[in-house]
Amino acid sequence: MFADKRDFERKSTSNWAPLQSPKERRISCDRSHHSYDLCMINGPTVFQPTTSTFFLVDPSAASRPSPVEKIRPYPRKWEAFTMKKIKELTIAATPQTPKCEVQHNVPALVFSAGGYNGNFWHDFNDGIIPLFVTVNSVFEHQDFVLVITEARDRWVSKYENLLQTFSKHPVINLSNENATHCFNSATLSLISHGFMTINPKLMPSSQTFAHFRAFLEKANGHGGNYPSKHISRPRLVLASRKGSVGRVILNQAEVKRVAEEVGFDVIVFKPTPRTPLEEAYAVVNSSHAMVGVHGAALTHSLFLRPGSVLVQVVPLGLEGVAEMCFGKSARAMGLDYMEYKINAEETSLVEKYDKNDLIIKDPVAFRGKNWSDAIMTIYLKEQNVKFDLVRFKEYLQQVYMKAKQFMDKKG
């Protein structure tokens, strides 16, 4: 997926015919949004890797002051400590640019794959979904090349099919580049509508989260692993978490047994950062229901077919976060979304705190308006869950009925 200088014809800027007249060439930056800045270079552009600078080729820049802009192309602008870790890029207009060594006769879309990328939820929330929004807002029906900073080889390899569905051109990883690259124009950074959100009112063609789900289907070969219409038991994916990260199902074997007693064929799904996306997609896309405790692995629910059932197990104190991260998007893409809320008897926090402590008795009052690192640690990292199997079995009966109806209809 990485662009190789041999894949492109090498030409100097003297042979490069710009698409814009000098009067149309300009640099503009929109810094009015909470989560991102967005800069546009309207005109022939040269990227110089040694200075991390995008130069606008503008002959008139010699006779007037030229703006110099700085941008960190990552949509988490409100988090200063995160943004400091994102590579800063410079944008400047100049009458004479460095010699063009690799020419691309298309615009560039430039963004960072740093920050929290590597965490599966953030890969989509901070990367793939904003990329979908930006492509369909700025480059709808247009050809362009993806230019990525701070992209680990593993990240690009994992999302290769998605990236190729966005653009037919090889990805340019600026971290691996020493040559200057030339583009017709450039857009720097990604547009975000909020956590796991696509706002159709802000999209030129009113695209929704359902359109994003269809994009995932297209990128992953339309599933291709649906169960046979002759199967009698709906398939349930049980997302499993490791023991050192919190929110682990302490009686997972018993939960699996109960789900099988209810009538499911159960697949215990243990994704890792090295799990190929196509493999994960095939497992989840071919199921009829998914159950998992709130956490990054539940992001795989994006691969469920519309109409199937998603059960988010919501640990104590995480109701708002659960809705923000998964509930909203699940409903937006047409899943039958359900929540199983852990009570005081099912959380491991009772082993550390008194059951009458606000931490357990009233998490909302304890937390107040402050979601601090300390509070985050208690509810996200200190807490595991142990299902009341009688209560959960009764709940699963509802899940089974919905999943069976979906299986009978869709296979």
- What is the C-alpha R_g of the chain? 24
In percent, the amount of the chain with pLDDT more than 70 equals 90
* Tens-place pLDDT, residues 102-142: 999 999 999 999 999 999 999 999 999 999 999 999 999 99
Contact between residue 349 and residue 378 where contact means Cβ atoms under 8 Å apart: yes
| Amino acid, res. 206 | S
* Tens-place pLDDT, residues 171-202: 999 988 999 999 999 999 999 999 999 999 99
Mean pLDDT of the chain: 90
Residue 245 and residue 242: Cα distance in Å, rounded? Answer: 6
| Amino acid, res. 348 | S
3-state secondary structure of 217: helix
For the full predicted model, state whether its pTM sits above 0.85.
yes
pLDDT at 244 over 70: yes
Residue 273 pLDDT grade (very low, low, confident, very high; cuts 50, 70, 90): confident
Pick the CATH number of 235-410 from 3.40.50, 1.10.3470, 3.40.1000, 1.10.520: 3.40.50
pLDDT at 220 over 70: yes
* Tens-place pLDDT, residues 278-290: 999 999 999 999 9
β partners of residue 10: none
What's the mean pLDDT in 264-284? 95
Helix residue ranges per DSSP H, 238-301: 252-262, 277-285
Residue 281 and residue 274: Cα distance in Å, rounded? Answer: 14
The domain limits of the chain are 5-207, 235-410
pLDDT at 15 over 50: no
Residue 5 pLDDT grade (very low, low, confident, very high; cuts 50, 70, 90): very low
Within a 10 A sphere around the Cβ of 125, how many other Cβ atoms?
A: 25
Q: What is the DSSP letter of 263?
A: T
pLDDT at 330 over 80: yes
In percent, the amount of the chain with pLDDT more than 90 equals 77
β partners of residue 26: 42
Backbone angles phi, psi at 403, to 5 degrees: -65, -40
pLDDT at 19 over 80: no
Contact between residue 294 and residue 302 where contact means Cβ atoms under 8 Å apart: no
pLDDT at 150 over 60: yes
Given this model, what pLDDT does residue 222 score? 60
Residue 243 pLDDT grade (very low, low, confident, very high; cuts 50, 70, 90): confident
Q: Which is it for the CA torsion 343, 345, 349, 350, positive or negative?
A: positive
Please give the helix or strand (H or E) that residue 68 lies within, else none. Answer: strand 68-71
Given this model, what pLDDT does residue 373 score? 72
